[in-house]
Structure 1
Amino acid sequence: MSSRLSLSLPLPTLRALLDYHADCECACDPADLADQAIREWLQRQHDLQRPAGRRGYLWKTVFLPDGTRLRISTHAGAHHAEIVGNELVCNAMSMSPNQFVKASLGRVRNAWEAIYVQMPGERQWKNATRLRYEAAAQARRLQQRDAATSIVAAPPGFPSQPRQAALVLQDGKLLLPQLRPDCEERRRTYRRAEDLLLD
């Protein structure tokens, strides 16, 4: 039997789950229904990382579609690999980006820095690190957009979310996070009044 852990849910979400449980007259426990909902959400998140109906290689957060070319340049020449189906293929062998770097250079090196990528239909080669940063920026933009659309106001007196991720919706206006009242700026009493540089 797997161990269980309690999670706090917003009241509207819990109410919607219990209403659904009552309407569908499921024989399962509400906790099992919540577990199933979370598992399905996680599966959707994994499916969203790989575009539907497209074949390609998912390298951490970067999706390389079928037909993408990879290149490593050395003093001896350039080494190439290609995405064929869902595999990275070099010299008729399926391998990971790290293995491609090791086979090309003869030593281990950071694959993100060594590999240049040419997407299908493009002429320009981009460094893999640049693609990684672009993918991370896109994920942040999507996350911020989703967070802004799904904000639930906290009841009065209830502590707000952590200030790094908190966005406040008040009277239809999106406000920047505010410092908590108990987090005042450091007082200047412990700082030197002046710095003297003597020759």
Structure 2
Amino acid sequence: METQISIPVATRQFLELADFLKAQGDARDPVLAVQDAIDYWLDNASWKPELLRQAQPSNLGYQWKGLFLPDSTEVRMQYKGDWYYAKVKGDKLIYEGEPITPSRLANTVTGTSRNAWRDLWIKRPADAEWLLADDCRAASEQG
């Protein structure tokens, strides 16, 4: 007897598959359809590059003076009760779809000249909570 493992699939997605199979007149058990999909992927991924997700190098990120912000780092600022968010994508800090510097982000949000180190909060991929940029800078200078 072949052993099996369970792979988590969102209930919504599994039900969509079951509905799709029914609508197509396919009487297969959705579990078997998932197994067939895995077999198809294994048979085709080596010659269909669009089936493979390219792993991004871990050295991507934005260098903000002495502080490195890894790819996927989130940056936020609160101003007049609202939060404004930017994100590091690759080697750029992106705000509203456009590259921006941290200083320009703080100044754009407020319409005045601000100290980004004291106004921006950072959450790197490994961080459990948001940290003030100035605190991140001080920690990176210490070690």
- Deviation string for 1:118-151 (max 9, x for gaps)? 011433000000011111111xxxxxxxxxxxxx
TM-score, with length taken from structure 1: 0.42
Number of equivalent positions: 87
> Which whole-Å CA distance do the structure 2 matches of 1:131 and 1:122 have between them?
11
CA distance in structure 1 between the aligned counterparts of 2:58 and 2:130, rounded to whole angstroms: 25
C-alpha displacement at 1:83, in angstroms? 0.2
Shift of 1:53: 5.0
Matches of 2:118 and 2:105, distance apart in 1: 13
Computing the radius of gyration from Cα coordinates, the structure with the larger value is 1
AA partner of residue 131 (structure 1)? C
For residue 134 of structure 1, what is the aligned residue in structure 2?
A: 139
SS for the counterpart of 1:99 is: helix
**What residue in structure 2 maps to residue 92 of structure 1?**
97
Following superposition, the deviation at residue 105 of structure 1 comes to: 1.2
SS at 1:54's partner residue?
coil
- Please, which runs of 5 or more residues in structure 1 have no aligned partner? 1-51, 139-199
Confirm or deny that 1:82 pairs with 2:58: no
- The answer as to 2:129 corresponding to 1:124 is yes
Deviation of the 1:110 alpha carbon = 0.4
**1:76, distance to aligned residue in structure 2 (A):** 3.5
The answer on 1:65 being equivalent to 2:70 is: yes
TM-score by length of 2: 0.58
Which residue type is aligned with residue 135 of structure 2?
R
Inter-partner Cα distance in structure 1 for 2:86 and 2:104: 11
Looking at structure 2, the residues matched to 67 and 53 of structure 1 have their Cα atoms a distance apart, in angstroms, of: 11
Amino acid in structure 1 at the alignment position of 2:89: V
Question: d(CA) in 1 for partners of 2:141 and 2:126?
Answer: 23
**C-alpha distance in 2, partners of 1:123/1:78?**
19
